[in-house]
Chain A
Amino acid sequence: MYMVLVLFGVSLLIFFLARVMPGDPARLALGPEATQEQVASLRHKLGLDRPLYTQYYVFLRGLFKGELGMSLITKRDVFKDLIQRLPATLELVMTAMLIAILGGIPLGVLSALHKDRTIDQISRIFAFAGVSFPRFWIGIMFQIAFAYILGLLPITGRISGDPPTRITGLYLLDSLIARDFPAFVDSFKHLLLPSLTLSLSPLAQITRITRANMIEQLRKDYSIVMRTIGMPEVVNIYKYMLKNAFTSTLTVIGLLTGWMIGNAFVIEQVFSWPGMARYGVNSVLRNDFNAVVGVTLVIAVGYVVINLIVDLLYGYLDPRIRLKR
């Protein structure tokens, strides 16, 4: 219920912001050569000459039918455009998050256990680099190193041949469902560099947070007591302390996933990844208001869903939250 309210508020906000963006979308779409009459007729066709509240009503009605209005660039309904591009972005973001979590947590634990020793110092340098180097630069460096010089991985795109039969739109999943193993490997190779590039900054942040949380856990009375009464170190660290540490890392992971969706466009641009983020940026530049609203709405839904998942996981991981309810 709360989520529906949030989304309604977001839709309202985005809608009006997109309408007050400077520049006339009809004029931009038709170009400087178009006559006054042509522009006026397009404005009428798009409903731009009607009062704002009527426009919003029409927009909401469309939303329930799965329509977001026509895109001025592709001349198709924005909803269809998004459905086509969203899976690419999802695949990219999810893979990147997976890399960030699987890399960041063990690295954070190791740094905490070897606090201020070599491993920790290396991971610290790595973390600073991961956060501070611009992503487009890292992406291009990866392309030069792995694709151009070593020739191991493709430079751009999602897949070399035809995409597998579309079921989810996630090529990895679709190719598995179709048992098309070569397509799986190929799309995996394409996915590797962009997702790695996108994952670096979150990976670095997760490493640092996990390290800090683990250091705190190592000092806790219960960790010391468990160790003292003979719990094997492995279990004490990777089961008992990590669960506690992960609970507070989770919030950050949620936020970072949102951040990734918002920041995927640089990566999509560099790697010619046919995703939603690139589409969003292009529509902002061309003042394609329906597309802007659509993309923003999807990102908002993404945030809400991620928050919900994080909350549910929280309750599952920490009885103190669960029992309070």
Chain B
Amino acid sequence: MQINNSHPNLRINLAGIRLAHPFMNASGVVSSSPGLIRRLIVEGGCSAVVTKSITPKPRLGNNPPILVKLPCGGYINAVGLENPGKEIIRSIVSVGLELGVPVIVSVAGSSADEYLEVSIEAEEAKASAVELNLSCPHTEGYGLVFGQDPEATKYITGMVSSVLKIPVIAKLGPSDNIVKIAGKALEAGAKALTISNTIKAMIIDVYTGRPVLTNIYGGLSGPPLHPVAVRLIYEVYSELEPLIIGAGGVVNGESALEMIFAGASAIQVGSAIIDRGVVVLREILHEFEELLVKLEISDLGQCVGLAHRL
């Protein structure tokens, strides 16, 4: 690789969406309203923003406790797909249009028709892409039931992809069947995959003997998820080499580059924002750039999936 001390080229083309650098927020983290999306762009410097997962109608979500930090680092959450419904999409997307930053609308539903309904609204609102949340682990009847089933993944992804002109991204969660599920999503028309969502998990308070989350089950995110997410990305890339957006426990330049080496082209950050605020995105970007310079990597594109080629 060439020695290059100037800024490395971080630009990427994500299924036709041009991104100035690989870092965006992960769905569900400060992303449920126009005001919060504006903060992700202005204070966080995201190259694209991903909305909270949106269902056709408003959803109230679970009662607190819905989010707890774990003693081992990382979080467990059971927000429960609380969202204002598809009516919010236009005002959120218009913030991205105003500021010149692509908006990816995360879509959830309890049936293929609901995924389609929200996806159509996103396209009409001029979103740059939709991300199908096929992997929410803590809301009965939504997401995970589809994302763990290769045929359901294919059906929903296919239904949305055949109608939309904008790119469809399928967001998958941890599964031993990930390669098969990823293959079905791509076969059905997904242009990229986001890997990974949280892992279904729970915590019990030993002083009272009770599960802490009102919902009992939640999703594990943050650093404990990172090696699992790296494994999932590595497995999928080695079999299918698709366009991947990596998510799971990215907290600094190194944990981001690890995902790129495993096969991701872009990165989403969630839990680190809870710890350090939206400015963490700028901090990680800065560290990432410095790391590339130190490693003499001049072009990000060269090192996507690097670990598979050495």
Do the two shown chains form a genuine complex with each other? no
